[in-house]
Structure 1
Amino acid sequence: MTQIINKAIVMSTRPVGMPKLADFSLQSHNIDSYNLTDGQVLIKNHYLSLDPYMRGRMSLKKSYAEPLQEGEIITGEAVGEIIASKSDKYPIGTFVCSMSGWQTHFVSHQKSSALYPVFNDQIALSAYLGIIGMPGRTAYLGFKHKAKPQPGETIVVSAASGAVGSVVGQLAKQQGLRVIGVAGSAQKCQYVKQQLGFDECLSYQADDFEQALTTTCANGIDIYWEGVGGRTLNAVAPLLNEGARVPICGFISNYNDTNVAAETPFQVLAKLKPTPEHGFFLVSDWLDEYPTATMALAQGVIDGSLKFKESTAHGIANAPQAFIGMLSGKNFGKQIVKLV
């Protein structure tokens, strides 16, 4: 093995509003496997992860991470197989997760904190990017530390059929909460209730959404899992009980908004009296708990107590279209790209 052709998606133009296909380009370059240095590995990616946070990295707005530069490979997680190695820790044939970004091949080093092995072959490779990857850990650790759940409380979960919300709701049911999901279609709501076991699920696109939420949450809302902003947040806000908690892991409806006057969740919640406990969090706040969270999620997948769904695009050239679709709610479950 010598020359490998790596295909990668780069941000060719910084998006304004909803990203367009013209904002991305597919580029190729050669990787020489003989040029690996001690400790390096060459990975052939099998799946790429597409996540809403990536849209924020494409913006110049102040954020928790540096923005992508034009011409840079789109950031993100991937899972794949090591096909060349100068590492005693990761021999050829090892399956690993990495932060390779949107590309078919990737050179990493055994000391990279973002490189770790797939640990259970009973679990589908793609699940390492979803329910037992970053989205699953976000749900598990954010729910534990920020939602502070108590049995009998009512939680409303936005994006309930998505990679994070679906896990939050299932964990909440297991801990004795009343769980109300919000999703973007009747089909998604049916899945959330019948397959994931939520007590109720409402479509935010329904004309009577606000009234339906008020009726469903007649005794108020104790926890709101915020991942979308917009209409869902505005409907939830007046129903929050005293002492409510609002973990914020994103607000996808604002990501493509060019209206500088558009209110963020922080602005909406700050107006409430009393103001609920709320705040944005990063799953990396609890790095030391990653192993515990990951193993708990993996056990749930193996024993069937945690279910998940995926939307799969095929081929790296289709990653931009799948990403745009995800931002507009066309995905059903965790959005991934299958490369192999």
Structure 2
Amino acid sequence: MGEEVEVVENKQVLLKKYIEGVPTETDMEVKLGNTIELRAPKGSGCFLVKNLYLSCDPYMRSRMRDFHGSYIPPFVIGRRIEGFGLARVVDSDDPDFKPGDIISAITGWEEYSLLRKSDALQLRKVELDHEIPISYHLGLLGMPGFTAYAGFYEICSPKKGENVFVSAASGAVGQLVGQLAKLHGCFVVGSAGSKQKVDLLKNRLGFDEAFNYKEEADLDAALKRFFPEGIDIYFDNVGGSMLDAVLLNMRVRGRIALCGMVSLQSLSNPQGVHNLFNAISKRIRIEGFLQSDYLHLYPQFLEHVKGYYKEGKIVYIEDMSEGLETAPSALAGLFSGRNIGKQVVRVATD
């Protein structure tokens, strides 16, 4: 008689169809019925994980389109969605991963996933620290936090006393960029889409100033109000009309880090940039980047940001959604600004 293996239902979030504009809940469905054995097949080199937390990130929208020109392929209609997640190893046929280990990787939007080391993107073991919530390994200490760190230090090349502007500043990336800039001795202004978020930037995250871009009829005038001497560094998470206005207000030899273009993602024909000539006359350096280009810096990032957090020099704001069935709503909410801080879905308890 062979050993009896437990078989359970594996709830999953599937993509129903490709999208044109912003995602809605109805573009996805939560499906029951698929079963999975709670063991890693012998000889497979795989390990089985129970997903604990899933990350909702703006880049996932590009994977919901039938477009193959991006740096990451689209999801497959009718199959599970994938994204950054935190999971606990349940069973393993890989000697490097043992039951009980906590890992971070791109995993399935489902209760259990079977992973293989050679296929799992950005796979790493997570060392738990009782002073830091485990879910922060998806935000502050995960891809968004590392994006902020690599983009600010490697692309923006900050100097003490410089003027820094951050768009979507209360989001998963922007909130840390602003705090790192303050720790570096910069003057920092952020934009966000509600009074609540503006108050958060000024009162909890330590920005010098902040404004609600939805209340500004003239973005150029708003930036001149906050930066009468111009902007040295712009950390761009939105693109579009905000980037155009910033180009009118950059100082000579300013730097712009292109991190995201969320304002353009709902447009089938995104508008162009009208004020790009300023990049010549002001010798502005504009550079797009991916955090995955800088993974060699991750240990340094982890050491620095953990230290800042434990010393109380930075805070991190998280928006937690409970249960896998809430994942479609949580992801769609990113694109209407519903979340406050880093959007995470708790699938199971630690």
TM-score range, shorter chain: over 0.9
* Secondary structure of residue in 1 paired with 2:10: strand
* Secondary structure of residue in 2 paired with 1:262: coil
**Residues 1:63 and 2:73 are matched in the alignment:** no
Deviates more, 1:318-327 or 1:125-134: 318-327
Partner residue in 2 for 1:250? 260
Structure-2 separation of matches of 1:35 and 1:110: 13
Partner residue in 2 for 1:36? 41
Of residues 311, 328, 331, the one that matches 2:336 is 328
Partner residue in 1 for 2:251? 241
Q: Which runs of 5+ in 1 are unaligned?
A: none
Q: Which runs of 4+ in 1 moved over 6 A?
A: none
Structure-to-structure mapping, 1:301-340, within 5 angstroms: 301-340=309-348
Q: 1:120 to 1:34 in 2, by over 3 A?
A: closer
**Residues 1:180 and 2:189 are matched in the alignment:** yes
Partner residue in 2 for 1:98? 105
Structure-1 separation of matches of 2:111 and 2:240: 35
Tell me if the contact between 1:133 and 1:294 (Cα under 8 Å) persists in the aligned partners.
Answer: no
Partner residue in 1 for 2:227? 217
Tell me if the contact between 1:13 and 1:22 (Cα under 8 Å) persists in the aligned partners.
Answer: no
* Secondary structure of residue in 1 paired with 2:248: helix
Of residues 31, 36, 44, the one that matches 1:27 is 31
Tell me if the contact between 2:264 and 2:270 (Cα under 8 Å) persists in the aligned partners.
Answer: no
Q: Which runs of 5+ in 2 are unaligned?
A: none
Structure-2 separation of matches of 1:134 and 1:283: 7
Q: 1:35 to 1:81 in 2, by over 3 A?
A: closer
Of residues 85, 90, 101, the one that matches 1:83 is 90
Query: Deviations along 1:140-160, whole A, 9 cap, x unmatched?
Result: 011111101011110100111
Q: Give the superposition deviation at 1:320.
A: 1.1
Q: Give the superposition deviation at 1:120.
A: 2.7
Partner residue in 2 for 1:270? 276
Tell me if the contact between 1:2 and 1:33 (Cα under 8 Å) persists in the aligned partners.
Answer: yes
Q: 1:113 to 1:49 in 2, by over 3 A?
A: closer
Deviates more, 1:60-69 or 1:194-203: 60-69
Q: Which amino acid aligns with 1:128?
A: H
Tell me if the contact between 2:178 and 2:207 (Cα under 8 Å) persists in the aligned partners.
Answer: yes
Tell me if the contact between 2:22 and 2:61 (Cα under 8 Å) persists in the aligned partners.
Answer: no
Partner residue in 1 for 2:163? 154
Q: 1:34 to 1:46 in 2, by over 3 A?
A: closer
Structure-2 separation of matches of 1:34 and 1:243: 57
Partner residue in 2 for 1:169? 178
Tell me if the contact between 1:203 and 1:209 (Cα under 8 Å) persists in the aligned partners.
Answer: no
Q: Which amino acid aligns with 1:244?
A: G
Q: What is the identity percentage for the equivalent residue pairs of Structure 1 and Structure 2? A: 35
Deviates more, 1:300-309 or 1:329-338: 300-309
Tell me if the contact between 1:155 and 1:180 (Cα under 8 Å) persists in the aligned partners.
Answer: yes
Partner residue in 1 for 2:122? 114
RMSD of aligned residue pairs (Cα, Å): 1.8
